């Protein structure tokens, strides 16, 4: 597994260098390297690597969302909160409706399948949005109006919103009994529980670090 992981890192960095030289997004090369190294093309990955790939994806998502959380500021969120909520739902709804209007005719699928496809396409990728918005913050682009903060907050809520809609459409496609209002009610509940899950441990860690001095004495290093 170590050899497979090293291969991914080396090829990813090499391809990233090449794509940056030709002014192409680095995420594109990562996708291409993953496809080529995967089991459906060159099959360069060991079986045990493929078994733990899901864990690596979760770790990567956690790191990305942590970076997004560290860049959010409470004062800026207060000023752009309403716009962020609208951005988290309105674009996804229009994308789903748009797919439902054209997919049945073009792809020869029914409306429920089109709604499922629209929910998949309407989801925002944190791997794309978060690094780009952090780069905008570092360069000061849109920072005065809080645009990067608004997009970061909206992208996080958008994923929750779209996942709930995807679950509803998938249940309707399978013929199961779906309580629409109960599923929609999961959106604010999920957001609230996520905030509490972050605020409570964060508060205790804040008190812990303010009570004890974790810095090494002067002239010494850890």
Determine what percent of the chain is predicted with pLDDT higher than 90: 8
Token reading at 29: 């090369």
Mean pLDDT of the chain: 79
Residue 13 banded pLDDT, cuts 50, 70, 90: confident
Q: Is the dihedral of CA 130, 133, 134, 135 positive or negative?
A: positive
Residues whose CB is less than 8 angstroms from the CB of residue 28 and which lie 6 or more positions away in sequence, other chains included? 19
User: For 22-49, how does the pLDDT look when each residue is reduced to its tens digit (9 = 90+)?
Assistant: 877 667 777 788 888 877 888 877 777 7
Per-residue pLDDT for 74 more than 80?
A: no
DSSP state, residue 176? -
Question: In terms of pLDDT, which residue wins out, 149 or 95?
Answer: 95
The predicted pLDDT at position 94 comes to: 93
- Kindly list the distances between the CA atom of residue 81 and the CA atoms of 71, 135, 153, in Å, as whole numbers in the listed order: 15, 21, 8
Looking at residues 214-218, what average pLDDT do you find? 57
The predicted pLDDT at position 177 comes to: 66
In three state form, how does the secondary structure of 100-154 look?
Answer: HHHHHHHCCCCHHHHHHHHHHHHCCCHHHHHHHHHHHHHHCCCCCCCHHHHHHHH
Please state the pTM of the whole predicted model.
0.66
User: For 110-161, how does the pLDDT look when each residue is reduced to its tens digit (9 = 90+)?
Assistant: 888 998 999 988 888 777 788 788 888 788 887 777 788 888 888 877 887 8
């Amino acid at each position: 597994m170590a050899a497979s992981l090293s291969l991914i890192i080396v090829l990813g960095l090499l391809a990233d260098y090449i794509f940056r030289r030709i002014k192409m997004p680095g995420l594109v090369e990562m996708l291409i390297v993953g496809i080529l190294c995967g089991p459906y093309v060159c099959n360069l990955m060991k079986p045990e690597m493929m078994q733990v790939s899901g864990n690596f994806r979760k770790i990567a998502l956690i790191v990305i969302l942590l970076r997004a959380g560290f860049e959010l500021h409470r004062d800026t969120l207060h000023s752009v909160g309403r716009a962020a909520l609208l951005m988290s739902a309105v674009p996804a709804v229009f994308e789903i409706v748009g797919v439902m209007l054209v997919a049945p005719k073009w792809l020869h699928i029914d409306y429920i399948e089109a709604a499922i496809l629209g929910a998949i396409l309407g989801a925002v990728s944190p791997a794309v949005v978060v690094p780009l918005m952090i780069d905008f913050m570092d360069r000061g682009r849109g920072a005065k109006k809080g645009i990067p903060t608004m997009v970061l907050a909206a992208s996080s809520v958008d994923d929750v919103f779209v996942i709930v809609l995807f679950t509803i459409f998938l249940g309707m496609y399978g013929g199961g009994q779906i309580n629409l209002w109960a599923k929609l009610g999961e959106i604010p509940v999920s957001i609230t529980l996520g905030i509490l899950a972050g605020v409570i441990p964060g508060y205790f860690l804040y008190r812990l670090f303010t009570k004890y001095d974790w810095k090494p004495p002067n002239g010494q290093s850890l």
